Amino acid sequence: MTQLLLKIRNWPNSLKIILAALLSILIGGVLLSLPVSHQSGQEGSVFDHFFTSASLVSINSMTTLAFSDTYSYFGKTVAILLMQVGGLGLMTFLAMVTLLMNQRMSHTQKDLLSDVLNRYRITNMKDYLKQVFKYTFIIQLVGLVLLSFRFIPEYGWIEGLFHSLFLSVSSFTNAGFVSFSTQSVMSISSDPYSLTIMMALIIMGGLGHIVWFDIRAKGRFFVRNYRKMGFRRLYNRLEVTTKMILNTTLILLIVGLLFVLVTEWTNPDTLGQYSGPYRIYLSLFQSVTMRTAGFSVIEFNAFSKGTKLILLTLAMIGTAPGSTGGGVKVTTFAVIILSFISEVKGQESVAFSKRDIHIKTVKQAMIIFIGLFVLLFSGIQVLLWTESADFTTIAIQATSAVSTVGITSTELADFSITGQLVIAGLFIAGRVGPLSVFMGLIGRQKQKREKIYPTIDIMLG
């Protein structure tokens, strides 16, 4: 046992992150398999419970059973904990426990945690972790209180508070699970109060702690100097990464909103059944939730093919680094688009906000983007061999899995065990990140190449 722990200690960080995710899934699967986790007459197979655990940890919401009807309050409480672990990461929780026990973290542990948090210049890890947990639980608590005004009158104090807590955590972590309905949030599709709170929680979780802390640090200065300096000059004081996240997020939300409006305005099965202003509102909600949360106010199958394509594209892009969401991340997408624009313009470097982006960052963005599509292509290919469903259905399922959005076009229970395992592999890989997956598989450590070769030009298309 000691030798095994020593071997694990020497593993690359990427492999440790994968191991932590698998360990979380194992513990969750065991707990969800217990009889106390099930409602009367609802059991499901052991495989179903482990699949659900994997989905919860991967903040995906794809399941092989009816989640809200299968699990008891105990099982759903386990689900809340798994969503928290999936959103923040098991390593983050373990590090916090270590610090609370007044034990010092080694340099190796700090390096690993920096990889988990997507931060590489954390001077005081203890304070940083405390702030991450503090803001996470404050935001979720506010969501709980606000949602309770909606659910307590309908379900009573205990059940209403529980549904409010569950939906607050599920929204903030971008998990997409619902405790009171088997049809996602379609039962409250005409309730703008609840949907607005959910959108706020999804966006806050999707922006991540990098943005929270930067805005908090500049907040007081903004308030004091707003009239003197104006919004633009104050905005320029934010970190470059924060500005890229905010700009890209806003653009993607607007693009999603407009595209859904244009393509679904007259569709009687989607927006066409609502009044004009509410069509705009639901289009906004759909644009927000498709960036890895996966809640449904409208049946996904009812959308046109063009709408499905744009929504799944938004899901593939995902949220911000250091956030609770998945996808390739908005910064990766932004760097790739900026690289394309810079090449078309004949510029030698990639720039944003009057700063040149390091070539290493551009290269890594390309690798992440390609890596996710390699995972997606491989998953689709295997599913085409194992399943009888048509190509479109399989492509939607695979894309939904690897982007961790959790929207499905058919019952996943109809897939074979092999197909379900492939889907589970895709959303686990999508959550830990394609770069971590490939680095973990080959056991790569960061190292410099000893030899320097001559530089050549290769003809491209």
pLDDT higher than threshold 70 for residue 320:
yes
Does 150 map to a domain? no
322 occurs within a structural domain: no
Residue 266 lies in a domain: no
Q: Please give the Cα distance from 426 to 415 (Å, whole number).
A: 15
- Identify whether 31 is part of a domain: yes
Looking at the 3D structure of the chain, how many domains does it have?
A: 2
pLDDT at 419: 93
| Residue 447 banded pLDDT, cuts 50, 70, 90 | low
Is the Cβ–Cβ distance between 409 and 300 less than 8 Å? yes
CB distance 300 to 259 below 8 Å: no
- Give the residue numbers spanning the domain of 381: 349-402+410-443
State how far the alpha carbon of 243 is from the alpha carbons of 207, 209, 365, 392, in Å: 11, 14, 17, 36
In a domain, residue 20? The reply is yes
Q: Is residue 13 classed as helix, strand or coil in its secondary structure?
A: helix
- Among 94, 117, 140, the domain-final residue is 117
What mean pLDDT is predicted for residues 410-424? 87
Answer for the pair 410, 393: CB distance below 8 angstroms, yes or no. Answer: yes
Give the tens place of pLDDT for each residue, 127-161.
Answer: 777 888 888 899 999 999 999 999 999 999 999 99
What does 211-236 look like in DSSP terms, one character per residue?
HHHHHHHHHHHHHHHHHHHHHHHHHT
Per-residue confidence (pLDDT) for residue 283, from 0 to 100: 94
Distance between CA atoms of residues 21 and 431, nearest Å: 9
78 pLDDT above the threshold of 80: yes
Q: Which secondary-structure segment (H or E) carries 141? A: helix 125-155
Residue 406 pLDDT > 90: no
From CA 326, how far away is CA 317, in angstroms rounded?
Answer: 8
Counting residues of the chain whose pLDDT is more than 70, the rounded percentage is 83
> Residue 443 — pLDDT band, cuts 50, 70, 90?
low
| pLDDT given for residue 294 in this prediction | 85
Question: CA-CA distance, 422 to 64, in Å (whole number)?
Answer: 13
pLDDT of amino acid 301 = 87
pLDDT, residue 75, reads 94
Residue 60, pLDDT score:
86
Q: Select from 319, 362, 291 the least CA-distant residue to 210.
A: 319
Looking up tokens 């305005």 gives 265
- 22: alpha, beta or left? (left if phi > 0; alpha if psi -120 to 50): alpha
**155 occurs within a structural domain:** no
Lowest-confidence segment of 13-22, 75-84, 243-252 by average pLDDT: 13-22
Q: How far apart are CA 51 and CA 164, in angstroms?
A: 25
Assigned domain for 380 exists: yes
Q: Give the pLDDT band (50/70/90) at residue 434.
A: low
Answer whether residue 192 is part of any domain: no
pLDDT tens per residue across span 156-180: 999 999 999 999 999 999 998 999 9
Q: What is the Cα gyration radius of the chain?
A: 22
**SS3 assignment for 294-349:** CCCCCCHHHCCHHHHHHHHHHHHHCCCCCCCCCCCCHHHHHHHHHHHHHHHCCCCC
